[in-house]
Structure 1
Amino acid sequence: MLGLLFTLAALPAAARAEACPAPGQWQRPGSAPLDSADLMHELAEHNVVLLGEQHEVTDHHRWQLHVLAGLHARRPDMTIALEMLPREAQPALDAWVAGELDEAAFLEESDWFSAWGFDPELYLPILHFARLQRVPLVAINVTSELRGRLVEEGWTAIPEEERFGISPPAEPPSAYRARLAEIHAHHPSAHDEDSFDRFVAAQLVWDRAMAAGLAEAGEAGTLVVGLIGQGHLQFGHGVPHQLDDLGVASHAVLLPWSSTGAACEPPPTDVARAVFGIAERAEPASTRPQLGILLVPDEAGVTVQNVLEGSLAERTGLAAGDVILRAAGETVTQPADVIEHVRRQPPGTLLPLEIRRDGEVREVLARFPPRSDEGP
């Protein structure tokens, strides 16, 4: 769930565009375009392939499905590993692949909205692909409660069986700590050194848990394809670094890359094994209630990390760095809490949000448009 920003050397517009992949084109960063068939053949020889995403971008999930289909044609002994769900959701995933649950029952039994919260419509095409092809789905995340316990109590204080046998993480590269520091700088507790240490520790728990899940899923010799937020994958940090520490060296990271002509920022040479050019385009308005914000957990509530331009959140006055403390009078502790309140909000009504900004607590009202103002 990390939203990471990169600072690139200034380039003339023409040079920047030439260094970017064209829409629909694979590219090794800093090099020539790649042939899709050759790349798929190469990737099929790996133990683990990691497909990055921005969770809320529909085309990223369409791209993931495209890659999954290409890899499955070469390695039908494939397993799909999901950041989206903790290990407790594995029985629901098994039942889904076996065809024993419909969509509504799967979402309920997996506790999707509490565990993840992003619109399941983004992921259902991939889930249906897995069921159609009988491709095993594996949950590789852990709950926020377990992450919190490991950070606050320490690894030795948590019995191995309660942490699913996950071992303590390897120390992060200094460049990864520096990138995490850039993210933490936007948090209200940015000047608290202990807060940053806890933030890094929580990130390492997250990375290690997913790496351990990937390693375990690949023990039978199948190709494991992980769907994971791109911030956990870029530059060989995060999950790839933890995979190396676990002795899983045969892995490759693929990323979708915004490709919008002269406005495109060329991918750094070491960001991934390959990137795929995706043209930015406007999505049809969703019929589901949406605020249009990216949320991350915070010690006191939920932090607004990003506000989409033209969104309801922007019109409401929400800004990056705001901490949402309460929604409709109820305390929120994780992004899923806010998302669930938004999903339940009837058209044409107000959702009161209590936020903290610059140390001051205030209330803002999110006014949801009436049904006639929503998209088709």
Structure 2
Amino acid sequence: MRKPRLFKALLLAFLALTLTGCSITHVVRVEDREKIDLRTMIAELSGTPLVFAGERHDAASHHRLQLDILQAIRAEGKPLAIGMEMFENSSQPALDAWSAGKAPEFAIRKVFEANWRNISWGLYRDILLFARDNNIPIVALNAPRSMVRKVSQTGFSSLTSEELRLLPAGLDGKVSDAYLDFIKSSYYMHGRKGDAFRYMCEAQMLRNRVMARRIGDYFLLHPETVMVVIAGGGHARKMGGIPVELEKIPYKIVLPPVPTLTSERVTTNDADYLMEEPFSWLAEIF
């Protein structure tokens, strides 16, 4: 019984490595389920102040698409900012120095690797170089890792008053039954149940709410800006992600497919566009 499972796992890993770098040339427009090319999608994104460009963190093709979107918006001559899940707020001064051309590459790489462990710098390098070369602000979106870890282990209520002061004012860790049901139906829970499951959901919600607040705060100061948010597909997804936590900022969402979110299953409660990529058919086999 174990050999077929092992074979599938090895085959999946091999195919993922083989196909991850393939370019994405088309997306599914979710509203009418029409397959369109990237040029059409990018044209349709024009005029949208906030674009969520979701990713699988290790997929080079997703980062290439993110860069394509950034370059197209930049070409329109609009003020542009990049919001990144990959950096905690404490990294903002380093990011500001980088975007201003005042920091060497080795310095920002060190900041990146301190924030975003186990993911290759090379996957994000072109995006960060594009930001520096065009003096585009990068906004550090994520909550402190230590706090997220603590909430995932012992719950939001375990945060001290000192820790809460490091978060945006008025933030809470409440998760609704609807959100819990959504997470159960949408993601693999790795065996988490009871309080452990709730704490995991509270940690994810903490990240979503902190990132939403950072985005909202930036738009209050820079209302004419177009922001492209680079974040994992789970955070970029409308239902259960950052977008549902935002108010009064129009947005569009581009997501990669995952086993629980295919072109057949996706709805406008998830995204506006779903990437068409060679990797997506693996969900139907495994």
TM-score normalized with structure 2 length = 0.75
Partner of 2:227: 224
Partner of 2:208: 207
Aligned-pair CA distance for 1:64: 0.8
What is the count of residue pairs matched by the alignment?
A: 247
Residues 291-314 of structure 1: CA deviation (Å, up to 9, x unaligned)? xxxxxxxxxxxxxxxxxxxxxxxx
Q: Which runs of 4+ in 1 moved over 6 A?
A: none
- Equivalence map 1:42-57=2 (5 Å): 42-57=44-59
For residues 46 and 216 of structure 1, the distance between their equivalents in structure 2, rounded to whole angstroms, comes to 18
Give the direction of change, closer, same or farther, for the CA distance of 1:159–1:105 in structure 2 (3 Å limit): closer
- Equivalence map 1:1-376=2 (5 Å): 24-29=25-30, 30-34=32-36, 36-37=38-39, 39-108=41-110, 110=111, 112-117=112-117, 118-148=119-149, 151-153=155-157, 157-158=161-162, 161-165=165-169, 167-168=171-172, 171-172=175-176, 174=178, 176-181=179-184, 183=187, 185-187=189-191, 190-191=192-193, 193-219=194-220, 220-221=222-223, 222-243=225-246, 247-257=247-257, 266=264, 268-270=266-268, 271-280=270-279
Higher relative contact order (CA 8 A, sep 6+): 2
Residues 43-77 of structure 1: CA deviation (Å, up to 9, x unaligned)? 23222110000001111111111111112222530
For residues 84 and 279 of structure 1, the distance between their equivalents in structure 2, rounded to whole angstroms, comes to 26
Residues 74-120 of structure 1: CA deviation (Å, up to 9, x unaligned)? 25301000000100001111111122222211122x2x333211111
Given that residues 84 and 139 in structure 1 are in contact (C-alpha distance below 8 angstroms), is that contact kept between their aligned partners in structure 2?
A: yes
Is the deviation greater in 147-156 or in 93-102?
Answer: 147-156
As a proportion of its length, which structure holds more helix? 2
- Give the letter aligned to residue 252 of structure 2: A
Q: Structure 2: 5+ residue runs without aligned partners?
A: 1-22, 281-286
- Give the letter aligned to residue 157 of structure 1: S
As a proportion of its length, which structure holds more strand? 1
Aligned-pair CA distance for 1:23: 5.2
For residues 24 and 145 of structure 2, the distance between their equivalents in structure 1, rounded to whole angstroms, comes to 37
Give the direction of change, closer, same or farther, for the CA distance of 1:266–1:280 in structure 2 (3 Å limit): same
Aligned-pair CA distance for 1:239: 0.6
For residues 276 and 162 of structure 2, the distance between their equivalents in structure 1, rounded to whole angstroms, comes to 43
For residues 237 and 252 of structure 2, the distance between their equivalents in structure 1, rounded to whole angstroms, comes to 11
Give the direction of change, closer, same or farther, for the CA distance of 1:173–1:250 in structure 2 (3 Å limit): farther
Given that residues 166 and 209 in structure 1 are in contact (C-alpha distance below 8 angstroms), is that contact kept between their aligned partners in structure 2?
A: no
TM-score normalized with structure 1 length = 0.59
